[in-house]
Structure 1
């Protein structure tokens, strides 16, 4: 009966906690941040569901230019336990015809999953606190303080999968206590393995918590502890090894994906401390008043469990103010504050123990109460507060808590639950809704800022006539995952974990401008026709009639009131063959246009034998426009000044100009760059999302005068060069491929097949498939290496004559991780057999 009441109470509290969002969704709103929520969380869930139901469990050709699912999406949902349970339920309802698993469904499911998840968190935390001789009602109150916290709902709103981290902490504590008290590690092994599979990033954070907890438990012991310290460490070590073996099939590829990702190191100095008002309106971590009072109430320190939880809580509270700790928990990168749920758990434990062992001692209580009220007055009057009305509510709840412990301790648990629900819903309304997701609704999701019917109309037209693997260069501005949202093969992607080779292709190898500077994404092809041909992207779509900026050789295909799509008049085959090879190191000092032309003429490999032909550099004159150019320093004196470039080309010249330069704004703030009709932006130097790269190459249509415009400020402008692309190389290659037989291609998830007839000696098949560890190839039944080609793509050396080529993708280290997981299963089963024979093993 108690279990049923507890489950009902957990579900009721969770529903009430989400009451504002339940109302908001009933009015057509969605729980998703307008940035990452709509750009990543919901699209990735929908994408993975569709991909899994196609049978593609390890690779997807429509994830950007193509990519491994585990290596690049395990950080999000690809191996998430909660997501897989959700997929199972949705699949069942889908099979019964009860739901349509479209993007809208995944938007709506965020609320349902959050309510259920929070209820489970409350149950798990309650059970964990009960291990410390805490009464059930008080353990439940501690669980509410843990789960019904601002960090939980903040995670759900902006980065929904972050909220799963709340599930693992109580489970880990239960597992650790079973080791310490019973000498049984089976539960801890299973939970640790599932946690490593679920998300490697939060596994790292949680394992830091495990270490801290274990260290504290070395010095704070309970009468029921049966294992000596040395025996504990043996079991911890053995459990960790077994958990790693069991999780190897997912954890190792996911970790490899993180390590091969490219992200610039943080250049600016990290602050020593960062203060926020954790009693009133911190966006990350609000300490409940009851913990402040309990921490100042000396009699509670007689309880061993209180000392344990209070000590860890005070440690985590101090660490909260250190950006260096935020950097440590973020893999020594830019400080991110995602770990404070650990403090919420220990605070919940301290309060649960404090309530169960509350004994009123007048003098100690007066000291603790006076100090608590004074602290709230001090931070309320002299600390930064966002709103006086909110501060008064928090202050009133604090006074009510202090008064209840003095007059009626029996009502304190109920008051604490109500207080948590008030703060939780107030934060949801005033911070998350009003300041972040007020526009996240059905109207916005169907607008031109995200996914409009007008956009889909043109996309459907392209899909009707495009070849199976041809791509469309289109994305809603600032939303690089538009191809996922609108279900087409595109040229853009936004994810924290990406193929590092592709990122370097954009940033350094070809300097492809994306229209904005940012890490963790790539998008569009800089309107460069050569690149469109190389990656089989013959379609280009933009808002309004943007004919002047369309890639060279692209003609208007169709248009609507606000959008136009263009199509290339020529194609290169998806699989190209060539006997011309160029050594990558020989191109280190050449221009981006030379690299493009070299990729068209043959293939760039680590080892090559041919000599590249430099692109044509032309002389250029400059004229200052509301600016002064002194050597390499350009001072712009208006909102849009700069220089005009006057290239020395014949008046009848056709083609494009490639303008390259190094640029940096000396003031360090953000700025735009306009070259002709093309506009791009650069981030301020203190931004953690800047690439820290100053070299740029921009394509612009041939013109007698090309304006380069910048906002007011002082710039370092160096190495300005202009090259002429008349597309003779592209035309020659297109004509040459017409004389060769077609190469039919079959691509089904992780399997990619094609046949080349009559290959000459030394021929390579060049594929616009991103080079990634995991691809295996066979030519005529014999194993063949997949080579990294053209910086970020793939090539295979062929035999003379007919070649039947088969490529198969498996997650990196597939064979060894499979063996590791099977070995882990054998060892775990053996361990289970062993412990069943002993009532208290290792004691």
Structure 2
């Protein structure tokens, strides 16, 4: 059989394995139900794919004004798809189909539908690459293919693809990294190692961290277990690993460094729970979402003679070590960057188990029959014990029984082939391993992912419903967009299912963002500086302005949309009904401030943070807040603490010295202000709140018309923020209501707001001739500073990467109003240009280019060196 035919058969077999391993989800796709998680899949994966496709195909590669209030693409979306090579390839293909008219312009629905097909192609590629690497390690083609299919078609792969699809791309780079290491050890050739490191580092900084930990483990194991008689000396290897690693890192740094900076510029509260060393609750034989061990693995580990083969010993040792780590939350924390323990590294165990299986299959003909029988019995006993002890039999599914049947059939085929040594039985064993694994995982997908975690709810009907991508909502949004030609008018709307990335899906400038990596200045703006409550506590997001009119006006919150059926929705001060259709209404802010705000009134940040929350907002309206200004104005006491004028009355409980005990189903505090409330349009109530019972579930806090959910103490998504500020309509009584329990409710403050400062700011003269042009990562501003103001602020988040020129002269980019862009300006005409590039991008680009040139020269030198030697060159 010639090589072309072998390759064709191998590709066809890989595609067949990939296709049938997705059979359940392909059938679901046919029935308009998609391979995408109901939470992060719909909240992040589909929206980010749509966002970046639109940005990239419009030539915007560095900054997006559509994500939240604005964000760097590499620094805040690098964890997802900014530099993800599989996604970038799919963008190129989809763009070709889009421009030729074969498909309509892709939206979130398209990316949800495409997920399963991209996954089929990814699994095909993983199988082919891994097979090639195993072949290089002197494993025969068919066993290598079987081992590769066990790696690609694994429970951790499907979990990754369904919930965080980009996680699965890390599995492409593992075999390439192993190949690079083996090329250094066997041939002293570092080129593939450099390439593999570069691809890994560029594609995703998070999984580069995990993969490189694994490669370090693999290298240490290879030093202990030599596979070839002639291997590169340790000193030579270290030289190649060090120089090759540095060159690879340098080549991939334009993707890695900005994303890593984004990670360190993020804020996530420290994980405060005690991380146990061991947790053996996961059932890796029957139900595990992250490490479902194939039956052939359990058979091979009992064959003692296999361990005499060094390649089997290598893969088996690492596999067993990684399986042990799977049961250690502490190891999960280490692989997750020393944060909360997560099981995301188990694909590494799937790779070594695949390698161990491939080696074992080609050793099977040499095993004594007694060992075969013993291995089969021990494996089946293990399954039976775990089946009984793990209560699998009592579950109302066929999952445990199917796994058990597959194990029995695999053991039978294993023993028969080992006993009779006939080729036909060998092929039957191979088919049983591959097909059995595919059958088990299709059933696993149905029970654990689709039915167990709600993936079956991600349907075309849901995506096009009022909860997600509703046509009626989008038509109304398009109407106001067609009429509004101002700069970045923002709409507060998150759909009826309250998803923070709805603006990306429905195509408007929003006021919310959800991403694991956020600009910490924006998070602290919400958590501490302005204490903006988002109606439920959760990390990695910011959302809306807490119904606070001052913030809407200052930050370009020009519109607000509600569903008509939600009659209790709040409409902040200054908003008027603007347009509507049958089911939805949009309100317009009559006090929204211009995009360019200039002033000569400067407040000191430290002094402003000692003022009440409404006074902090007033400072942003009447001037600009800077850190350590040379001269600072004094802010008037327009909204002092008026709690002394009110009476605090406990309801259904006791309140003393900041301790609130509620003895009935619901209770709390009433702050009775009486006639004093008539002096204010709105009231701001601030307090410190903590549930004294750390084992209590999450709870609802109600303050008059405002409701906010708080997470339980042990939630991974708890912000740890306990200082709460709520704005409510001015009323005689402000009622704080909590469920039964014991709470620390302290530092109670009450302040009023008349909105005189807002009305003055909105009525003041603006730069009528101002011109704002936004082009990708550039903002060009032109206006006449007739008032001789000294500073400018823009409602665009401040982050590393921005530079500014005023009338052609470089100026310092200032952090204004806690988290936003600003700079000093000149009297008269001002032409200002803000430009954004990812942090350290220019130097990374230079380093990458230099690393590429050095790698090419080094490769040429090694090639000439090899050419002049007696050994044949093997690339």
**Which 4+ residue blocks in structure 1 deviate beyond 6 angstroms?**
840-843
For 1:169 and 1:548, how far apart are their aligned partners in 2?
51
Q: Distance in 2 between matches of 1:214 and 1:802?
A: 63
Aligned to 1:278: 284
C-alpha separation in 1, matches of 2:295 and 2:23:
23
Aligned mates of 1:627, 1:464 — CA distance in 2: 54
Shift of 1:369: 2.5
Is residue 35–residue 162 contact of structure 2 (8 Å, CA) maintained in 1? Answer: yes
* Correspondence for 2:542 among 503, 522, 530: 522
Using the TM superposition, give the Cα deviation of residue 481 of structure 1 relative to its aligned residue in structure 2, in angstroms: 0.1
- Aligned partners of 1:719 and 1:432: how far apart in 2? 45
Q: Hey, what's the Cα distance between the residues in 2 that align with 1:742 and 1:656?
A: 34
Given candidates 465, 472, 489, the residue that maps to 1:470 is 489
Deviates more, 1:543-552 or 1:699-708: 543-552
Matches of 2:581 and 2:122, distance apart in 1: 44
Q: Give the whole-Å Cα distance in 1 for the aligned partners of 2:468 and 2:649.
A: 41
2:53 to 24, 46, 49: 49
Residue 422 of structure 2 corresponds to: none
1-side partners of 2:649 and 2:561: how far apart? 33
Equivalent residues in 2 for 1:203-352, closer than 5 Å:
203-223=208-228, 225-275=230-280, 276-352=282-358
Task: Please tell me the root mean square deviation across aligned C-alpha atoms, in Å.
Answer: 1.7
Shift in alpha-carbon separation, 1:765–1:460, aligned structure 2, 3 A: same
Query: Given that residues 269 and 719 in structure 2 are in contact (C-alpha distance below 8 angstroms), is that contact kept between their aligned partners in structure 1?
Result: yes
- Return the offset for 1:215: 0.3
Matched, 1:633 2:635: no
Inter-partner Cα distance in structure 1 for 2:833 and 2:173? 42
Matched, 1:612 2:627: no
Of 615, 640, 651, the match for 1:594: 615
Q: Note the C-alpha offset of 1:384.
A: 4.4
Q: More deviation in 773-782 or 754-763?
A: 754-763
Superposition TM-score, scaled by structure 1 size: 0.97
Partner Cα separation in structure 1 for residue 252 and residue 786 of structure 2: 44
Separation (CA, whole Å) in 1 of partners of 2:123 and 2:626: 52
Distance 1:652 1:301, change over 3 A: closer
Of 257-266 and 395-404, deviating more is 395-404
Contact 2:612 2:640 in 1 (8 A): no
Deviations 1:679-700 (A, max 9, x none): 1100000001110111000000
For 2:823 and 2:8, locate their aligned partners in 1 and report how far apart those are by CA, in whole Å.
Answer: 62
Q: Which residue of 2 aligns with 1:428?
A: 445
TM-score (norm 2): 0.94
Q: Per-residue deviation at 1:225?
A: 4.0
Q: Give the SS at the match of 1:838.
A: helix
Q: Does 1:393 align with 2:402?
A: yes
Is 1:531 aligned to 2:540, yes or no? no
Q: Which of 801, 808, 825 is the equivalent residue of 1:798?
A: 825
| Alpha carbons 1:145, 1:344 under 8 Å: kept | yes
Number of the residue aligned with 1:603? 624
- 2:386 and 2:858 map into 1 onto residues whose CA distance is 54
1:346-379 per-residue CA deviation (whole Å, 9 max, x = no partner) reads 0010111000011231333333223222211211
Change (3 A) 1:548 1:451: closer
1:824 aligns with 2:831: no
SS at match of 1:268: coil
The counterpart of 2:681, out of the listed 645, 650, 655, is 655
Q: CA deviation at 1:742?
A: 4.2
Structure 1 residues not aligned, in runs of 5+ = none
Task: Output aligned runs, 1:108-147, within 5 Å.
Answer: 108-147=113-152
Deviation at 1:127, TM superposition (A): 1.2
Query: What's the offset of the Cα at 1:425?
Result: 0.3
Q: How many residues align?
A: 842
Corresponding residue of 2:82 = 78
Q: Relative to structure 1, is the Cα distance of residues 548 and 448 closer, same or farther in structure 2, using a 3 angstrom cutoff?
A: closer
In the alignment, does 2:812 pair up with 1:785? Answer: yes
Match of 1:768, SS? strand
Deviation at 1:180?
Answer: 0.7
Matched, 1:513 2:533: yes
Distance 1:840 1:316, change over 3 A: farther
Give the CA deviation at 1:558.
2.9
- Map 1:675-824 onto structure 2 (within 5 A): 675-738=703-766, 741-759=768-786, 763-824=790-851
Aligned residue number for residue 476 of structure 2: 458
Q: Which residue of 1 aligns with 2:511?
A: 491
Describe the shift of the 1:221–1:393 C-alpha distance in structure 2 as closer, same or farther (beyond 3 A).
same
Partner SS for 2:797: coil
What is the alpha-carbon distance in structure 1 between the residues aligned to residue 231 and residue 94 of structure 2? Answer: 45
